[in-house]
Chains A and B, each alone.
Chain A
Amino acid sequence: DQQVKQNSPSLSVQEGRISILNCDYTNSMFDYFLWYKKYPAEGPTFLISISSIKDKNEDGRFTVFLNKSAKHLSLHIVPSQPGDSAVYFCAADDGGTASKLTFGTGTRLQVTL
């Protein structure tokens, strides 16, 4: 069973516009959420995170929103740039001692000129 779901395998956005990537989760024990960005032939790179006690975290062009009641989070990128084209993974942790991350399947974002 997939506890973290990214239902959109791909997304295409024009440069300068907003990119919105969505993620849903089923495990109510998750209390920390992260977004990773991955380029081909590279490992995932940490982008931004949010604790379950918050509903928003912002870092430059990147903002993550968390809706605990809906078990939904989203990543907003404004404005989108061609260099943002990558696969974005949503990940979650249940706060246990292991800090093992549960990942979604990823969304491929393409930012077009």
Chain B
Amino acid sequence: EAGVTQFPSHSVIEKGQTVTLRCDPISGHDNLYWYRRVMGKEIKFLLHFVKESKQDESGMPNNRFLAERTGGTYSTLKVQPAELEDSGVYFCASSRRGAPYEQYFGPGTRLTVT
């Protein structure tokens, strides 16, 4: 079984530019989560999809962040326009409907905004 994959692994952009991160969850996992870790601090929840629907987006920092999950499969997280404080590692995780706590994480995308 393939794990959660994320693309790109690393992105360096200038302040004001746009970046789109992609996550492919484990096949069959209805739950998809985005988390972020900034400057070696705690990993913080951003939002949760159940299939294509946003279940909880209470962790999204502001309206510069837009997440979508097309057809309940892969998900994208767009940051537009990027600010310096958006730098960090963005993790995607997925889990089965019957086991929401058992979240499998991808390797993360390291975003650096200069």
Residues of A within 8 A of B (CB): 2, 4, 32, 34, 36, 41-46, 49, 89, 91, 93, 97-106
- Shortest C-beta distance, A47 to chain B (Å), equals 11
Residues of B within 8 A of A (CB): 4, 31, 33, 35, 40-45, 48, 55-56, 58-59, 91, 93, 95, 100-108
- Shortest C-beta distance, B103 to chain A (Å), equals 7
- Shortest C-beta distance, B97 to chain A (Å), equals 10
Do the beta carbons of A41 and B107 come within 8 Å of each other? yes
CB neighbours of B43 from chain A (8 A): 44, 89, 91, 101, 103
- Shortest C-beta distance, A25 to chain B (Å), equals 12
Closest residue on chain B to residue A104 by CB atoms: B42
The complex places the Cα of A89 from the Cα of B105 at a distance, in Å, of 13
Do the beta carbons of B91 and A43 come within 8 Å of each other? yes
Closest residue on chain A to residue B95 by CB atoms: A99
Do the beta carbons of B42 and A4 come within 8 Å of each other? yes
- Shortest C-beta distance, B44 to chain A (Å), equals 7
CB neighbours of A41 from chain B (8 A): 107
- 10 other A-B residue contacts (CB within 8 Å) besides A46-B103, A99-B48: A42-B108, A43-B106, A44-B91, A46-B104, A99-B103, A101-B33, A103-B35, A103-B42, A103-B43, A103-B44
Do the beta carbons of B103 and A102 come within 8 Å of each other? no
Closest residue on chain A to residue B4 by CB atoms: A43
**Which residue of A42, A101, A104 is within 8 Å of B103 (Cβ)?**
A101
Question: Known: A43-B106, A44-B43. Is A100-B101 also a contact (CB below 8 A)?
Answer: no
